[in-house]
Amino acid sequence: MFKDHGKNHKEVTLPHGKLHVFANDEVFSSLENKVYEMADHNLSIPRNRYMSYTPDAHVGIGTCIGTTAVWNMGDGFVSPSIVGSDIGCGMRVHLTPLCKGDIQDKTLRREMIQAVEKYVPANERASSHYKNIRVEKIVKDGIHGLPPQYVPDMYTPKNRRSITHVEHAKFEYNHDFLEYIPEKMWAQAWKQIGTLGGGNHFIEIQYVKINEDKREIAEKWGLFDGQVVVMIHSGSRAWGGMLGPRYTKDFRKAMDTWGVGTPDPNLVYAPINSEVGQRYIHLMYSALNYAVVNRHMLAFGVRAGLKDVFGSDFEMPVLYDLMHNYALKEFHRNQPMLVHRKGTTRALPAGHFLNAGPYKETGHPALIPGSMGTSSYIMVGEQEGEKNFYSICHGAGRVRSRRATKELVSVDEFAQSMKIGTDDEVLVNQRTLESILDECPQAYKDVDQIIDSVVGAGLASVVAECKPMAVIKGL
């Protein structure tokens, strides 16, 4: 049973509460029953103030990816299951002075891929090139904790984009909680700084098509038609990856002690002000610091590789960096709330007080990846997004599992979607498409339908469409 509010906004009544779904009719009708079952389990957590799905919603562990869930800070709950295991996973885009025509030659694009791979370890087991970075410093201070050689603009008052053009360069928290981190986590995190990781993480070289309706904003952001940009998708690697399962166990023990539970053993929660809740929140912020640094260092490696190709004067300033897996204290409706976003992106409109300084006037870039072979999007939040706590999609969203994709999609179909053999071929770093078949475009929803859902709901608008030209995937 649901109520249609119009503008791609449906309100679904479930046994434990109401779920808001922002999707056009086609996407809404394709949602499977399991996503509603999982939503109802999440709504069984007491005193929930709000819960919604973005159109890319699909089944996850404990909670669907594409979930926004909100509790009051004073009497609410925090859930590692609604944050997700890859804490701080997010997106980053860098601008370049290049145009599409400059890199149309496939031999040059292949050279770019190989140059980047010299500086960016893309193998899941590869080690960091940056042995002089101290994990303790970056998990405490974020980008501010990096040695100056890795943030050359940090101390330039008029040009500090590495610090100013990010959602957060540093998350504040009580560092005393770091004493709970096991030694092996420190060691593993040190090995992974500036590494890509596997799964759906990527570095993609794209070219831009500006939306005429938002050309003024695009120009203020430094975007132009045909411009080559670099999009990066990665997270907190082992630091966040080890925190999630560790604290899921701690939460489950606490819930057993309190005599509470949920129908799904993978869904855990605790009061925000409980000992276990506070420990998790503070250490989650340490993972957010690691994540923003990791993406920064990935970009540092890409820049070094492209300097080898295009010369020492080549620069690629950051457009923006943001997250889509976290729980953050925010002020909404004149009160502090803990907003969980699992696979959803914050998209603040022009004038919102939480915007990063350079984007107060326009609203910040909201970075939405597609899938290999399909467009990605740079969007901007609209005022009407307040109804969904300024959350929009985080990508296309999987439509089938990795196993099902390998069973149902052929390598030839994958090759066709990547335009293999044509002048517009999307080059990939992996030697065989078969090795990354589970990440093919056919594994994901139609990103254009996802964007249509968000725009139609009035949550955000498209500033630019980004077409892929070359992709670096981790294994």
Is the four-CA dihedral 294, 295, 300, 301 of positive or negative sign?
Answer: positive
Q: Is 342 annotated as contributing to ligand binding?
A: no
Q: Is 41 annotated as contributing to ligand binding?
A: no
Specify the higher pLDDT residue, 127 or 382.
382
Q: Which domains does the chain have, with CATH numbers?
A: 2-399+444-473 (3.90.1860.10)
Least reliable range by pLDDT among 145-149, 413-417, 446-450: 413-417
Q: Is 203 annotated as contributing to ligand binding?
A: yes
Please give the pLDDT value at position 157.
66
Give the phi and the psi of residue 442 in degrees, each rounded to 5: -70, -10
pLDDT in tens, 97-150: 999 999 999 999 999 999 999 999 887 677 889 999 999 999 999 999 999 999
Query: Is a pLDDT exceeding 70 seen at residue 90?
Result: yes
Q: Which two tokens stand for residue 111?
A: 């050279």
Query: Is a pLDDT exceeding 90 seen at residue 438?
Result: no
Q: What is the mean pLDDT of residues 79-103?
A: 96
Q: Is 396 annotated as contributing to ligand binding?
A: yes
Backbone dihedral region for residue 329 (phi beyond 0: left; psi -120 to 50: alpha; all else: beta): beta
Query: Is a pLDDT exceeding 90 seen at residue 154?
Result: no
309 vs 172: CA distance, rounded Å = 38
Q: Which two tokens stand for residue 291?
A: 């994540």
Query: Is a pLDDT exceeding 90 seen at residue 348?
Result: yes
Q: Where are the beta strands (DSSP E) in 343-435?
A: 345-346, 365-368, 376-381, 391-392, 427-428
Please give the pLDDT value at position 36.
98
Q: Is 148 annotated as contributing to ligand binding?
A: no
178 vs 172: CA distance, rounded Å = 13
- Dihedral of the alpha carbons of 191, 196, 198, 204, in degrees to the nearest 10: -170
- Contact status, residue 203 vs residue 469, Cβ threshold 8 Å: no
Given pLDDT bands bounded at 50, 70 and 90, which one contains residue 430? confident
pLDDT in tens, 296-320: 999 999 999 999 999 999 999 999 9
Please give the pLDDT value at position 181.
92
Q: Is 369 annotated as contributing to ligand binding?
A: yes
Please give the pLDDT value at position 153.
84
Q: Is 274 annotated as contributing to ligand binding?
A: no
In this structure, the chain runs to a length of: 475
Given pLDDT bands bounded at 50, 70 and 90, which one contains residue 37? very high
Listed in sequence order, the residues at least 6 apart from 283 whose beta carbon sits closer than 8 Å to its beta carbon are 173, 177, 178, 180, 181, 243, 247
Q: Is 86 annotated as contributing to ligand binding?
A: yes
21: enclosing H helix or E strand: strand 17-22
- What proportion of the chain, given as a percentage, has pLDDT over 70? 99
Number of H helices, E strands in the chain: 13, 19
Q: Is 182 helix (H, G, I), strand (E, B) or coil?
A: coil
Listed in sequence order, the residues at least 6 apart from 142 whose beta carbon sits closer than 8 Å to its beta carbon are 168, 169, 170, 171, 288, 289, 292, 293
- What proportion of the chain, given as a percentage, has pLDDT over 90? 81
Burial 378-412 (b: 16+ CB within 10 A, else e): bbbbbeebebbbbbbbbbbbbbbeeeebbeebeee
353 vs 331: CA distance, rounded Å = 10
Q: Which two tokens stand for residue 104?
A: 């149309």
Please give the pLDDT value at position 135.
96
Q: Is 147 annotated as contributing to ligand binding?
A: no
154: enclosing H helix or E strand: none
Q: What is the mean pLDDT of residues 366-386?
A: 95
Listed in sequence order, the residues at least 6 apart from 434 whose beta carbon sits closer than 8 Å to its beta carbon are 411
Q: Which two tokens stand for residue 273?
A: 């002000």
Q: What is the mean pLDDT of residues 356-385?
A: 96
Please give the pLDDT value at position 110.
96
Please give the pLDDT value at position 248.
87
24 vs 33: CA distance, rounded Å = 17
**Residues belonging to the active site:** 394
Specify the higher pLDDT residue, 198 or 183.
183
11 vs 46: CA distance, rounded Å = 19
Given pLDDT bands bounded at 50, 70 and 90, which one contains residue 406? confident
291 vs 236: CA distance, rounded Å = 4
- Contact status, residue 383 vs residue 362, Cβ threshold 8 Å: no
pLDDT in tens, 229-240: 999 999 999 899
Q: Is 395 annotated as contributing to ligand binding?
A: yes
Q: Across all residues in the chain, what is the average pLDDT?
A: 94
pLDDT in tens, 9-32: 999 999 999 999 999 999 999 999
Neighbours of 375 (CB within 10 A): 20
Q: Radius of gyration (Cα) for the chain, nearest Å?
A: 21
Q: Which two tokens stand for residue 106?
A: 């496939």
Given pLDDT bands bounded at 50, 70 and 90, which one contains residue 445? confident
Given pLDDT bands bounded at 50, 70 and 90, which one contains residue 259? very high
Please give the pLDDT value at position 127.
85
252 vs 267: CA distance, rounded Å = 9
Query: Is a pLDDT exceeding 80 seen at residue 322?
Result: yes
Least reliable range by pLDDT among 149-163, 290-304, 325-339: 149-163
Q: Is 201 annotated as contributing to ligand binding?
A: yes
